[in-house]
Amino acid sequence: MSDDIPFDRKLDLVPGRADEVAPGVRRVLANNPSPFTFKGTVSYIVGRDPVAIIDPGPDDENHIAALLDAVRGATVTHLFVTHTHRDHSPAAARIKAATGAVTVAEGPHRAARALNIGEAKRLDASADMEFRPDLTLKDGEAVDGAGWSFVGVATPGHTMNHMAFALRGTDFLFCGDHVMGWSTPVVAPPDGAMSDYMASLHKLTQRRERIYLPGQGDIVRDGPRMVEHYIRHRQGREASILRRLEKGAADIPTLVRAIYIGLDPRLTGAAGLSVLAHLEDLVARGRVTTDGIPAISGTYRLASG
């Protein structure tokens, strides 16, 4: 989908087996591979005892058992959640029940804007609407544990409550689905918004952490460089949309066909939503017009003048 970015699609992890990525940082792969999750969600365990878990993952019996097994004998004090997609947060409920840990996140799931007709269903399909963090973090706020301290880095765009967590005193940023080693994340209304997503990418270029530990895929050794690629990739996609619209008005399926060459057919719907995300941003900036509010079924044209 994005051949202009130097992705790493190797990830050699066995689901359910804890793998140490750095002293005091382990990861456990969930067995939920898909075109959207690559080989599966990656949960992280930070510390020895007590420990914190970042992104407990999907509500999957085996994954929950593997995480509880990996932390056996240690006290789990905190469950950090980067965002409330179903592959990241639902396991928090059962791990909290088993350990008494406090859940920490930016906030519950919310849409990026008011819903259009038919969108509520789509939001429900991907989002964990049940999750309510015990502790909500604002951008820049810290949570201290025994031997570790995390700072929340609000990174809305993929979802509006997306938050990355910087491990203080290290080069590590637990970046959820904001940046991934294997692909660009879906930015799809009504969950996400492209203008916020781009602002959150630019925000990371101002930070000092270099090593990104994503919610899917392998560790990104040079995070800021990957972010530069992401920014250029999205700018390129926007330019492609505008180029197509220079030839005349178009609907979203037409734009998808013009822009995504060789797309996995299973990702056509996601590609349409991604184009809608760009169009929302372009309409807000006055570059593109449509009838009424930007919708998946709308027709789009360049703004005159």
Interface residues with Zn ion (CB under 5 A) are: 85, 177
Nearest-CB residue to Zn ion? 85
Q: Which residues of 34-61 are buried (b: 16+ CB within 10 A; e: fewer)?
A: eebbbbbbbbbbbbeebbbbbbbbbbbe
Q: Specify the residue, 78 or 85, whose C-beta has the smaller distance to Zn ion.
A: 85
CB of 111 to Zn ion, least distance (A): 14
Could you tell me how many residues make up the chain?
Answer: 305
Beta carbon of residue 146, minimum distance to Zn ion (angstroms, whole number): 29
Report d(CA 139, CA 206) in Å as an integer. 14
Smallest separation, CB 83 to Zn ion (Å): 6
Q: Which is nearer to Zn ion, 200 or 290 (CB)?
A: 200
Q: How far is the CB of 41 from Zn ion (least distance, A)?
A: 9
Query: What is the dihedral sign for C-alpha 242, 247, 251, 256?
Result: negative
Q: Where are the beta strands (DSSP E) in the chain?
A: 19-22, 25-29, 42-46, 51-54, 76-80, 102-105, 135-136, 142-144, 149-154, 163-167, 172-176, 211-214, 250-251, 288-290, 299-302
Contact 91, 116 (CB under 8 A): no
For residue 293, which of 285, 283, 303 has the smallest C-alpha distance? 283
Q: Can you read off the two tokens belonging to residue 144?
A: 């201290």
Q: What is the distance between the terminal CA atoms of the chain, rounded to a whole angstrom? A: 33
- Tell me whether residue 162 or residue 244 sits nearer to Zn ion (CB atom): 162
Residue number, 47 or 189, with CB nearest to Zn ion: 189
Q: Give the residue with the Cβ less far from Zn ion, 60 or 177.
A: 177
Cβ at position 158, least distance to Zn ion in Å = 6
**Minimum distance from CB of 168 to Zn ion (Å)?**
25
Query: Quick one: tokens of 39?
Result: 């080989």
Nearer to Zn ion, 85 or 234 (CB): 85
Using the minimum distance from each CB to Zn ion, give the nearer residue, 158 or 278.
158
Report the SS3 class of residue 20.
strand
Q: How far is the CB of 302 from Zn ion (least distance, A)?
A: 32
**CA nearest to 161, candidates 144, 140, 184, 138:** 138
Of 55, 61, 50, 57, the residue nearest 24 (C-alpha): 50
Nearer to Zn ion, 50 or 176 (CB): 176
Contacts of 117 (CB under 8 A, 6+ apart): none
Q: How far is the CB of 271 from Zn ion (least distance, A)?
A: 16
Q: What token pair was written down for 281?
A: 């941003």
